[in-house]
Amino acid sequence: MNSSLQISRVLLFLLVSTSLLRAQTRQWVRVIDASREINRAKAEILLEFEVEAGYHIQSHRPEDPLLIPTELIFQWPEGIANSPPVFPPAEPFPLLGTETVLQVYSGLLPVRVPLQIEAGVIAGEYAVSGILTYQACDDWKCYFPRELPFTMGIRLKADIP
Amino acid sequence: MKKWIFALGLLLASGPLSAQDPVGDYGEVPAFVLNDLNGQAVDIEGYDGSYVVIHIAATWCPFCNAEAPYLQQLSQEYAEKNVKVLLIDVKEPPELVREKLQDKFGFTFPVLLDRDGTVAASFAPEDVLPDLARDEVMLASNLLVDPEGRIRFMSLLDSRNFDAKLIALKARLDELLASN
**Chain segment A81-120, per-residue pLDDT in tens:** 999 999 999 999 988 888 889 999 999 999 999 999 999 9
Query: Minimal Cα–Cα distance from A64 to chain B, Å?
Result: 8
- A27-156 to CATH, choices 3.40.50.1100, 2.40.50.140, 3.40.720.10, 2.60.40.1250: 2.60.40.1250
Domain ranges, ordered by start, for chain A:
27-156
Q: Which of residues 132-151 of A touch B (CB under 8 A)?
A: 135, 137-145
Q: Is A126 a residue whose pLDDT tops 50?
A: yes
Beta carbons of A26 and A6 less than 8 angstroms apart: no
| Rounded-to-integer distance, Cα B123 and Cα B119, Å | 7
Q: Which residues are paired to A129 by β-bridges?
A: A75, A151
- Total number of domains in chain B: 1
Tens of pLDDT, residue by residue over B22-59, are: 458 888 999 999 999 999 999 999 999 999 999 999 99
Which chain A residue lies closest to B117 (C-alpha atoms)?
A144
Closest CA to B107 of B141, B64, B67, B71: B71
3-state secondary structure of A73: strand
Q: For residues B170 and B176, give the distance between their C-alpha atoms in angstroms, rounded to a whole number.
A: 10
Does B139 lie at the interface with A, CB-CB under 8 angstroms? yes
Chains A and B: how many Cβ contacts under 8 Å? 77
The separation between CA B25 and the C-alpha centre of its own chain, rounded to angstroms, equals 14
**What residues 100-129 of chain B have any CB closer than 8 A to a CB of chain A?**
100
Mean pLDDT of B162-167: 90
Cβ–Cβ below 8 Å for B159 and A26? no
Nearest to B156 among A26, A140, A144 (CB): A140
Q: Domain containing B121: what range? A: 2-179
Question: Do residues A148 and A134 touch, judged by C-beta distance below 8 A?
Answer: yes
Interface of A with B in 50-109 (CB under 8 A): 58, 64, 66-68, 95-98, 100, 102
Interface of A with B in 7-36 (CB under 8 A): 20, 23-24, 26
Of B5-9, B62-66, B79-83, B134-138, the least confident: B5-9
Q: What is the pTM (predicted TM-score) of this model? A: 0.77
Percent of chain A's residues with pLDDT above 70: 83
**What is the average pLDDT score of chain B?**
83
* CB-based contacts of A19, cutoff 8 Å, min separation 6: none
Nearest-CA distance B180 → chain A (Å): 31
What share of chain B in percent tops pLDDT 90?
63
Task: Report the residue from A64, A139, A143 with minimal CB separation from B159.
Answer: A139
Whether residue B148 is predicted with pLDDT greater than 70 in this model: the reply is: yes
pLDDT beyond 70 at A61: yes
Long-range contacts of A66-71, Cβ-Cβ distance < 8 Å, separation of 24 or more: A66/B59, A66/B60, A66/B65, A66/B100, A67/A102, A67/A135, A67/B60, A67/B62, A68/A133, A68/A134, A68/A135, A68/A145, A68/B60, A69/A133, A70/A105, A70/A109, A70/A132, A70/A133, A70/A134, A70/A135, A71/A132, A71/A133, A71/A134
Q: Do A141 and B139 touch (CB under 8 A)?
A: yes
Query: Is B126 a residue whose pLDDT tops 70?
Result: no
Nearest chain B Cα distance for residue A90, angstroms: 16
Q: Do B62 and A64 touch (CB under 8 A)?
A: yes
- What CATH number should be reported for the domain holding residue B7? 3.40.30.10
**What pLDDT is attached to residue B136?**
65
Cα dist from A74 to A62, A115, A121, A132, A145, whole Å: 21, 11, 17, 9, 18
